Amino acid sequence: MMIRIESDPLLKKLQRQDVVAYYYDSKSVTWVKVAQQFHISERTAQAWRVEIKHILGAVL
């Protein structure tokens, strides 16, 4: 499954959206918990958030 996520651009985008949605859905979730939940680093999760914000900023 990991190979599928790494090689499919659509699945990568969905995973990034899930990470950001998971963070913003709950007020008690920290970036540490997000990173542990999705098996990524804290910095990666925060970078994905910045990327999503830039995309939303361009659209809105």
Higher pLDDT, 2 or 43: 43
Question: pTM above the 0.85 mark?
Answer: no
User: How would residue 34 be classed by pLDDT, with cut points 50, 70 and 90?
Assistant: very high
What Cα–Cα distance (Å) separates residue 4 from each residue in 10, 32, 38, 51?
Answer: 10, 25, 15, 22
CA distance 42 to 35: 5
Q: What percent of the chain clears pLDDT 70, i.e. is strictly above it?
A: 92
CA distance 38 to 58: 27
Average pLDDT, the chain: 89
Q: Where are the domains of the chain?
A: 2-59
At residue 31, does pLDDT exceed 80? yes
At residue 41, does pLDDT exceed 70? yes
